[in-house]
Amino acid sequence: MKIVDIEPSDPRLSSELLPVLRELRPHLTEDLLREIYAEGYGQGLRFTAAYDDGRCVGAAGWRVVINTSTLKQLYVDDLVAAADARSGGIGHALLAHLEERARELGCHELDLDSGTQRTGAHRFYLRERMDITAFHFSKSLT
């Protein structure tokens, strides 16, 4: 498996990473992803893709965040393996890669949120020795 960072201008963002990312974020269009990445890149947003035999089979969106509660953390916005490639070690490889990146960047934690309905993902995160440390509260402003 090969894991690579995808820059905002990389054509693989739309052609290869987006189809996998849409399995987690079906509302994303090519234009919306490019818009989000163009603005988010300046705020630290990055995308990393996992390839197996030349095919994108996993995607991660992440950023480094500095705050008073965790100090410096690598926060994972998105983590998804292609449905037809799940249980093949893709999620583990991406998470291990992000953990290594977090350590290199001097982060104290690797954090992510996961929707309450994603029980399969929760089992995976617990197997990966992640802890449930907080509730996430949200209020729609639209």
pLDDT tens string 22-32: 999 999 999 99
Task: Name the nearest CA neighbour of 110 among 43, 65, 67.
Answer: 65
Residues 98 and 76 sit within 8 Å (Cβ to Cβ): yes
Residue 49: CA count within 13 A, CB half-sphere: 24
Confidence of residue 45 (pLDDT cuts 50, 70, 90): very high
Predicted TM-score (pTM) of this structure:
0.92
